[in-house]
Structure 1
């Protein structure tokens, strides 16, 4: 059975969503980020990314990771590509070209979009958005993201999907990255195809189930 290590309020959300889309049975092992624990190394500390029990599974000390029948893998976006390839179906690449496109778009989102989108999330989480430094950080991130939003918007205009004219792992991976920018509605207003695509992705039952579990967790 697939085991997913990580809380829903982390990048593990991507893997929980993917498992839901594929209809996979899985075990969930909640592993908190160490930064959220007062003393992550204390004997009575909840299982976290510095806990010896978790480090014995994933020595990098990062969530998420998965154990799929003894095969341990890290990196949330890569995990989803692996699960799609393993289990097949419409979410996976049906040709070598589609698989290459899914990998290309996923890497693009990870390198060109996520660093700026995460900066927005971290600034908002730190409640620094009202400070001058916070406003400048968000303004810079939004400016950097506009090019990527334009590129994806033009691409989605053809079919409303990233690869193959249907919902695939590429849509899921990118939707989870672009979700980080949702506090900045102007980006989506200027990219209507991206706005509609993200709304459609988040209307899927598996996303709603994942998000319900995420919201049920303590902040």
Structure 2
């Protein structure tokens, strides 16, 4: 059976969501991020990204990790793309062209969007008092996101999903990155097709199941 290591309040959410879409059973081992613990190396500390048993699988101490038979794989996008390709349509590629397009949109999410989207998530939290430096960082991150979001908006204005006219792993990978920026309405309201697509993705039963489990984890 597939094993997923990592709390769902991490990039493991992408892998869990895809598994629910696939109807793929898995064992979940909730490895917590070391920075969330007062002393991750203390005796009796919960399994975390500093734990020797976890570092044996993930020397970089990063979650998620999946184990599928003899394969141990790190990097969340590698995990989702591997599982989608292994289990095929409708979530995986039908041919080499779709495979390339799924890679394209996934890499776009990781390289053109994620860093700035995370800035918006961390600095634009409800109730957070923002310094002048925070406000400048938010404005700069939002401005950098305009160009890639414009590309996504144009694509989604001509079709319901990113690849092949159907919901695929590319939508999961992109949606889980754009979720970080979702609460910054000054930016997202400029991209109505993207916002509608994101809401459609998050209305899916598999996302709702993942989100329920994620919400049950300690913050």
**TM tier, smaller:** over 0.9
**Could you tell me whether the CA contact under 8 Å between 2:16 and 2:210 is conserved in 1?**
yes
Stretches of 4+ moved more than 3 A in 1? 124-129
Out of 183-192 and 13-22, give the one that drifted further: 183-192
* In 2, Cα distance between equivalents of 1:129 and 1:143: 21
5+ residue gaps in structure 2? none
5+ residue gaps in structure 1? none
What is the aligned-residue RMSD (CA, Å)?
A: 1.4
| Matched ranges for 1:18-57 at <5 A | 18-57=18-57
- Per-residue deviation, 1:123: 2.2
- Per-residue deviation, 1:186: 2.2
Q: TM-score, normalised by structure 1?
A: 0.96
**Could you tell me whether the CA contact under 8 Å between 2:2 and 2:27 is conserved in 1?**
yes
Q: TM-score, normalised by structure 2?
A: 0.96
- Per-residue deviation, 1:127: 6.8
Q: Deviations over 1:107-152 (max 9, x none)?
A: 1110000011111223246975522111111111111111111110
| Matched ranges for 1:32-181 at <5 A | 32-124=32-124, 130-181=130-181
**Could you tell me whether the CA contact under 8 Å between 1:129 and 1:135 is conserved in 2?**
no
SS in 2 for 1:72: strand
**Could you tell me whether the CA contact under 8 Å between 2:91 and 2:169 is conserved in 1?**
yes
